[in-house]
């Protein structure tokens, strides 16, 4: 019997990465939609319509990061509009999926990872809400980035995967490159020397925009390739990334489904309150 707790104010935004966006709304029985036009906000249009559903009494809102039919490149995604759309849809949490290259022998193809830190190597993206675009975000805000991902929400993803019997790695540093090209061999080796475990093109700025917006954000990453550093391996190719992702996509779907249920069983008031306080205390502009 599905138990509905009193936590009906909880709402989980799900940002679907490459290979997931178009199918998940059916899998999750989403029954209503907010069009991109209606979800337009101070930062512009989100990547896709918002799909609303419900898992065990917990509302979910799905968004396809790259748009329907994968039309936005990693640079072309309007990350701010996406996060703001989910905030305005009253999400308290965001669970994100992302395909990544592995930068270490310890992470094989199809392996799930819940990252706990990032290195931002993007060069052409808007990385803050606090640039005067919106009255909601006024002043100058210096958010601390440790922890980068919400630890409790990350723990929920790990628990969900374990409950399903999946092999999942706790922690890891994801390095986000600008793309859309993949890294050269020299770059790939440099990322390894920096201590990166995974490389992708989208976690930054999404993870820190979510924090600025006061949403508890965690990601489940899937390693699809070894980039191009590993001598005995095929070098990464876009088509292969999608093939490996599709072979393992059921794991991501099941983890997300289970994680929403687990989120629904928790009391999150303090976590959200603390994050809101952190945002306020990180704003250094003197209020008039």
Question: What are the residues binding ligand ADE (CB under 6 A)?
Answer: 99-101, 177, 182, 199-201, 224-225, 227, 236, 241
Q: Which residue is nearest to ligand ADE (CB)?
A: 101
Q: In terms of Cα–Cα distance, which of 58, 52, 53 is closest to 2?
A: 58
The residue from 225, 240, 267, 271 that is catalytic is 225
Q: Is 116 designated active site? A: no
Residue closer to ligand ADE by CB (options 93, 121) is 121
The Cα–Cα gap between 97 and 117 comes to: 15
**Nearest approach, Cβ of 71 to ligand ADE (angstroms)?**
17
The Cα–Cα gap between 193 and 180 comes to: 22
The Cα–Cα gap between 221 and 17 comes to: 10
Residue closer to ligand ADE by CB (options 10, 241) is 241
Beta-bridged to residue 33, according to DSSP, are 51
Q: Is 227 designated active site? A: yes
Residue closer to ligand ADE by CB (options 201, 204) is 201
The Cα–Cα gap between 131 and 8 comes to: 33
Residue closer to ligand ADE by CB (options 85, 201) is 201
Phi then psi for 94, rounded to 5 degrees? Answer: -130, 130
The residue from 227, 240, 267, 271 that is catalytic is 227
Catalytic residues: 225, 227
């Amino acid at each position: 019997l599905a138990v509905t707790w009193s936590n009906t104010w909880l709402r989980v935004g799900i940002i679907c990465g490459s290979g997931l966006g178009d199918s998940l709304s059916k899998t999750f029985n989403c029954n209503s939609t907010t069009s991109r036009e209606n979800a337009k906000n101070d930062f512009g249009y989100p990547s896709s319509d918002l799909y609303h559903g419900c898992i065990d009494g917990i509302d979910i809102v799905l968004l396809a990061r790259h748009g329907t039919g994968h039309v936005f490149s990693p640079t072309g995604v309007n990350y701010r509009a996406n996060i703001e759309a989910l905030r305005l849809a009253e999400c308290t949490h965001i669970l994100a999926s992302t395909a990544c290259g592995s930068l270490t022998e310890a992470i094989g193809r199809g392996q799930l990872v819940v990252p706990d830190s990032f290195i931002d190597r993007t060069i052409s993206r808007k990385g803050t809400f606090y640039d005067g675009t919106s009255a909601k975000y006024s002043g100058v805000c210096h958010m601390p980035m440790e922890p980068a991902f919400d630890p409790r929400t990350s723990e929920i993803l790990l628990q969900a995967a374990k409950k399903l019997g999946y092999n999942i790695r706790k922690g890891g540093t994801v390095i986000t490159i600008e793309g859309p090209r993949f890294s050269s061999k020299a770059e790939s080796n440099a990322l390894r020397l920096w201590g990166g475990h995974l490389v992708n093109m989208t976690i930054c700025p999404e993870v820190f925009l979510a924090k600025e917006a006061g949403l508890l954000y965690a990601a489940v990453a899937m390693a699809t390739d070894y980039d191009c550093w590993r001598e005995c391996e095929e070098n990464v190719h876009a088509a292969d990334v999608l093939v490996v992702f599709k072979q393992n996509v059921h794991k991501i779907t099941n983890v997300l489904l289970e994680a929403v249920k687990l989120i629904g069983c928790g009391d999150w008031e303090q976590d959200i309150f603390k994050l809101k306080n952190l945002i306020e205390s990180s704003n250094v502009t003197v209020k008039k």
